[in-house]
A and B are shown apart, each in its own frame.
Chain A
Amino acid sequence: MLLSEMKEGHTGIIVRVGGNGALHRRVLEMGLTRGSEIYVEKYAPLKDPIELIIKGYHISLRVKEAANITVDKVTP
């Protein structure tokens, strides 16, 4: 499923990162690499952006950007 479809409090493993060049690379450089565990901390009050925990730190992505990331093994 897509990262943008994950619910608050769920954990998943990143399997694919897509998107255009700049965004793709930026997302990777911030540590959202294949195989990393990702946790959905919360959605902003207006449902966009999303706050995530990756590699022990907090990062936020717009929902549209998160839709480029595919996750697997999603567990609550």
Chain B
Amino acid sequence: MHKKSITIALAGNPNSGKTTIFNNITGTRQKVGNWPGVTVEKKEGSVSKYGYDLKIIDLPGTYSLTPFSIEEIVARNFVLEESPDVVIDIIDASNLERSLYLATQLRELDCKVLFALNMADVAFSRGIKINADKLSELLDVPVVFTTGNKNKGITNLLKTAIKLAESTSNISPKRKVKYSKDIETSISKLQNFIKERVEQNFPYNIRWTAIKLLENDKIVRKRIRQKSENKSREILREVETHRKHLLSRFDEEPEIVMTDERYGFIAGIIKEIIKTSTKRRIDTSRNIDLVLTNRFIGFPIFILFIWIMFQTTFTAGSYPMEWLSSGVNWLSTILATSLPDSFLKDLLLNGIIAGVGSVIIFLPNILILFFFIAIFEDTGYMARAAFLMDKIMHLIGLHGKSFIPMLMGFGCSVPAIMATRTLESNKDRILTILITPFMSCSAKLPIYILLAGTFFSARAGTVIFSIYITGIVFSIITGRLFRSTLFKGADAPFVMELPPYRAPMIKSLIIHMWDRSKMFLKKMGGIILVGSIIVWMLTAFPRNINYSMNYNEEINKINTSSSFTGKQKKAAITKLKLNEKAEKAEKSFMGRIGKTIAPVFAPIGIDWRGSVALLTGFVAKEIVVSSLGILYAADETEETDEPDALKNALLSSEMTPLSALSLMVFVLLYLPCVATIATIRRETGSLKWTLFSIVYSTSIAWAAAFCVYQGGKVVGLS
């Protein structure tokens, strides 16, 4: 027999414990994706219980259903357009008054709604006693107590939801918010006006539509225009008349008055259902904040936490990173010896495994980093971090929460950009994504170490430090520039809740980490794989190169010659082999492209070898060093008598300290690696912003390197 399926949507304020309840119901059987067209996370899960197939949708956490933020639009559209069988509103019982704002809005919509009073134990310990029966009676809504973090009341919640879904009784038109007389008059007049003019099958509740039109709700206005084309002008004109009337009556926009009155209505309910005892327990959360957001030690503690996060990510993460990397090496050695030499083997080893392998080793770092982020978010510390940092970040035109992604950019841009999801405003999110790549990621460090170590040996540390500072300066300039041009207009309101501290739950931490890692791994299979193959093809083709000499013959000559000692022979052969590799690279498509675009790089003091190395850096920045090694025919991989072969090769080339500096500045700022670009594409959800980011960063890189190189020449550096 086919089981009946019921769709249940979970709505609620952020920090109401909604996600915990969702995790408790669905366990690990959840699908995480994006809502269509936007980068708001969509979570859904299915369970079979009590003879039904339950489909649970976790709506984004919102404080209201006014369509300001994407989250609110997504949540409201789902309830309106997808008509779930039941909407469960998870209400934080210790924060009842504000939570009821969303609840009354849901009540106004024509949907079957059920309240879950969550964490009533916390409320009780604060001396708040809630009369649930009274609440249920006043709003005519089933009310269930739950304690999400102890997994209590969930069974009852689901059973009540099923009962509600199966009940056929109409939703009572009463027990909704009652506004003041003038507003109610306008509502009912408008209601009648609309009713006479729209089709029978008008999809929304008429009273709700009238209220939303009075509130000047853009989305509902648009819907009216779509659903009743010919009458819409008439309706909207009538709405304008009522709005003007109310504006003159209250001297304030109707939406403001109505928000006020909803809270007035809620205050009335609160008075009837809540008993506050006089004994006040100690508020642990406030005591914690006495320390964590303290005027004097708040910042030092914050820096300590960030330092611990960074250290653990990149120090503890380096061990599993090494295991993975030796795993990758082991795999390629096995394949190298077991497979016959062929085109496919070359593709597999040097293209796929080398490319994907160089990125997959970051998985441990990403896991650890997101473990920390999840702790910060789940405990409530993230809001405090934003509280501490907002003043500073606001100078760049950003939100306090942008700090964490930007800081993580020093590690790796991929998780950093993924972390911008904690930002609520889309503007802030995109701006943060655009400037995060300027935070010099750890993959670029080997390049600086090589170049600075070679050309500025004594002052290498200072040079590298200055490069990092340059990156920060460019991010600040970019932030300010974009905020006053591309992202003009008023800043998104900062208005942010500082939720009570809560102990993190292992289950939700693990689910969080797993989601991120899955996202990361999926990307490996897609764009990075393709990117690696393309770069490999460009370096591996054409196959038949006209070498300037016959290397094999030369090697044979040396082998058979008797004028060398064994050691000399070996050195000479190695030298020949390296030259062959270098010539192959030079004559490959990549080399040809490098030579073709070399004129572009000439004004910034980078020759064709540098250009090719920079191009290969597109796959992953670490590759720049190994490319330079190949192109300068330096032997870094095998044991030689010269440990600093590449250094010496660079010193004896035409590269100067000034051009090395220019190259470093270019590496710092130019287009991010393919993994980052894929992440930008995913997180902005827009090809336009992705291309913009590539073009902007590369032009800035060129301009900055040009200033360094030409400016340096003018002042007489070389």
Contact = CB atoms under 8 A, between A and B. Distances in A.
A61 B495 contact: yes
The A interface is mostly helix, strand or loop, or mixed, namely mixed
A72 interface: no
A23 B499 CA distance: 20
Interface in B368-393: 383, 387-388, 390-392
Interface string B631-657: 000000000000000000000000000
A24 B256 contact: yes
B388 A44 contact: yes
A65 B493 contact: yes
B97 A58 contact: no
A56 B494 contact: no
Interface residues of A, number: 33
B388 A59 contact: no
Contact of A59 (B66, B259, B497): B497
A57 B387 contact: no
Contacts of B387: 44, 49, 51, 60
Interface in A7-52: 20-31, 33-34, 36, 41-42, 44-49, 51
B490 interface: yes
B494 A49 contact: yes
A49 to B, nearest CB: 5
Given A45-B298, A57-B95, A57-B98, A33 B497 contact: no
Contact of A25 (B68, B285, B286): B68
B495 A30 contact: yes
B256 A28 contact: yes
B293 A44 contact: yes
Given A58-B497, A60-B387, A26 B68 contact: yes
Given A24-B256, A44-B391, A51 B293 contact: yes
Nearest to A57: B95
B490 A20 contact: yes
A58 B380 CA distance: 12
A61 B494 contact: yes
A1 B253 CA distance: 23
Contacts of A41: 286, 289
A26 B293 contact: no
A28 B263 CA distance: 9
A60 B498 contact: yes
A73 interface: no
A29 B259 contact: yes
B392 A46 contact: yes
A67 B393 CA distance: 20
B66 A25 contact: yes
B394 interface: yes
B268 to A, nearest CB: 13
B390 A44 contact: yes
Most buried by A among B253, B264, B293, B392: B293
B494 A65 contact: yes
B137 interface: no
Interface in B252-268: 253, 255-256, 259-260, 263-264
Nearest to B270: A55
Contacts of B285: 58
A23 B500 CA distance: 24
Contact of B263 (A31, A56, A65): A31
Contact of B391 (A25, A28, A46): A46
A47 B253 CA distance: 33
B98 A30 contact: yes
Contacts of B390: 44, 48-49, 62
B64 interface: yes
Contacts of B400: 49
B237 interface: no
A31 B293 contact: no
Nearest to B97: A55
A45 B293 CA distance: 7
A22 B63 CA distance: 14
Contact of B494 (A45, A47, A58, A60): A60
A46 B63 CA distance: 28
B503 interface: no
Contacts of A34: 260
Most buried by B among A34, A44, A65: A44
Given A29-B101, A30-B98, A44-B293, A62 B394 contact: yes
Interface string B238-264: 000000000000000101100110011
Given A22-B490, A57-B497, 5 more contacts: A26-B495, A33-B260, A41-B289, A49-B391, A51-B387
23 contacts: A20-B490, A22-B68, A22-B492, A23-B490, A25-B255, A25-B256, A29-B259, A31-B97, A31-B98, A45-B294, A45-B296, A45-B299, A46-B391, A47-B391, A48-B390, A48-B391, A51-B293, A51-B387, A56-B95, A57-B95, A59-B497, A60-B494, A65-B493
Interface of A: 20-31, 33-34, 36, 41-42, 44-49, 51, 55-62, 65
Interface of B: 63-64, 66, 68, 94-95, 97-98, 101, 253, 255-256, 259-260, 263-264, 285-286, 289, 293-296, 298-299, 383, 387-388, 390-392, 394, 400, 490, 492-500
The 5 closest A-B pairs by CB, nearest first: A46-B391, A58-B498, A28-B259, A55-B97, A23-B493
